[in-house]
Amino acid sequence: MSGSVGDSAEVAQPGPVSEPEELGGAPDDQEMPLADHIEEMVKRLGVVIVAMAAVSGVVFPFATYLINFLWFNYLPGSEEICRQVAQVGATNVDPQTACARVYHPLAVVLARLKVATLAGFVVALPLFVYETYLFMRPGLYPTERRYYLASVPTSLVLAAAGMLFAHHLVIPILFDYFVGYSQGATTLAFGLTDTFDLIVLMLGAFAIVFQIPLFIMLALMMGLVTRTWLQRRRLIFWGLFAALAFLFTGDPTGLGPIFVAVTMIVLFEGTLLLAQWTGHE
């Protein structure tokens, strides 16, 4: 009996026990000083800014074509008619033709810079998501890494969808509204700077707004929030969306901010319905 007890005691002696993977930290997680974290974050933001500037520089020489394309997609008239008015002072044109008025010596250059910057911003948006992933990668589990990597091309697709939504629906409605209440009361005179500021702002705003489903689904998949938590606080999110829309959308009529706020709320609620359908609690 004593030999059996001895053998049992020998077997029961504790040895090195490996911690289950799900209870441990992320595989590459390690402690880093705060200064190193800040330095890495600045470097990754620098990559995004440099890429944005590079794309803007490539687009800048062709920005005039983009300006004319956008301008006459939303406003009545054509590039040929406005060129005739500028060169020979043609008077037999439709008084509602919306030729761009330049009230500042740098207005054209600034407009070209804005449209080039918009192009750089759209390209840099998924790069920003990817650089954020690289910054957070050491603290992520393999499954979370897959979710985050999948969000990079998704971000570009959503940005393009948002700009197309603004281009084909929102901005035409805005300018139809502007032109509609002006007809018969005054001669149209659209300043290049103010008008193009609104165009670029709306295109950029909807590129960002359409990222809402991506951020929500990413947060749900990574377990940062739950669908129930978001649903219980929906009124807070609605109020936040409305405040952001009216704060950052420079449209004095109020129609633009309403479009932005309603779109944000619809995307938020639609994403929650999608999350419920896919089984996220």
pLDDT tens-digit series, residues 238-264: 999 999 988 876 666 678 888 999 999
Per residue in 182-216, pLDDT (tens digit) is 665 556 677 888 888 888 888 989 999 999 999 99
**What pTM does this model have?**
0.75
Between 174 and 83, the higher pLDDT residue: 174
pLDDT at 1: 45
For 209, residues 6+ apart whose C-beta sits below 8 A from its C-beta are: 162, 260, 263, 264, 267
Q: Is the pLDDT of residue 90 over 70?
A: no
Euclidean distance between CA atoms 171 and 151, whole angstroms: 27
> What is the chain's mean pLDDT, rounded?
79
Euclidean distance between CA atoms 261 and 245, whole angstroms: 5
